Chains A and B, each alone.
Chain A
């Protein structure tokens, strides 16, 4: 690889500044001691982190978001594993059509999904509850789970499974002892990516949240609509730090490139 020239490096520095500035400014403003948005020029204060304690709704929303993300990504993975095994390894009529249907939520604006699901659940007489949120998030995260499980199920060596069957393994034993361990990296990374997608989703959730099941991004969004104060900065800063930790762990475990760009050559 050849080096970048000084001009390229200067451009790169500006882009890095552009990308990181808004994220850093949230984390810095969170430490202000003043009652309004400002950089902590007169010393760092944890005042606004303590202030979160007086607002139990943020903690409740955080809990809602965690449960919602865990439930929807688990259901997505359970549905995606058999589908990925069939689509990735078997030849059948309608295979392409199914794959397009399963990936189509990526093409549909989340706003449209939110409106459509709100109409669907109210018309169906189900009302809006925590379960409707789980259902909505399931639709949104399913393509991500399917994609990552597909990439591992395509490369699966059929001979190993045949060997298991010829040695007398039942279908279930074959799946549990041979197939599942082989596609496990895809299942785990698919679950994690789904979890993050669900945890960050805001546009669709705005439509199908109730006051009791408001997710953290929706709570932040609605709060910011009224006023922006250092409290949202401290909540967001915690969110950012948690995400960065997860990000670094993911990068160590799977490689960010494989997770986001797809299996490349490098």
Chain B
């Protein structure tokens, strides 16, 4: 990937994150590319979630800026952010009687009137979003009757209905079985490439990330390592994640093994 060809949709400028006295990482500079599928990798407590929440404007940075479309998040209204960035959180949505199509339709909220009436454009977007995640047949089912994998697809459809160039997902595969983990990541990759979305998600599935993602951002000891899987392996950044543990990363097979 040539640096000069990349168009950044999300840029971190001298970004410092943390809570109170505890700094997770300081002075990070990084650009996430347009239409790229990026995994955020790091051990628990390294700040993956906090970074996603900061980009989604749910949390404030200790210092520095998040720049989207060349503008600082700080200078944007909630409505402007909502039309650029959608977020799939770890919150479980299992509400009795709430229909799948209605969940996806709530994603149109930034564009609908005071009471949330759907226009024809909104309805088309809902149908299209459900089709993109392969959930058209479930439109009228209550969301509490769906499996975990199906529900995650619906939440991704909701983000698609919000019609943003950037989609952030906080551990979207955490509660899923292995086939579903692959299915969801393949779906996200396809959406990034075909719908030209910038998709950034946090995950502990190193194998899937190395295999399917365009780029990885690894947070290790308060520092960012960013690049393609090959670049990160060549630099030894992936291997360094396993220092001080009883396992090691084997660059040849791209798997984790016992020492």
Q: Do A and B bind each other?
A: no
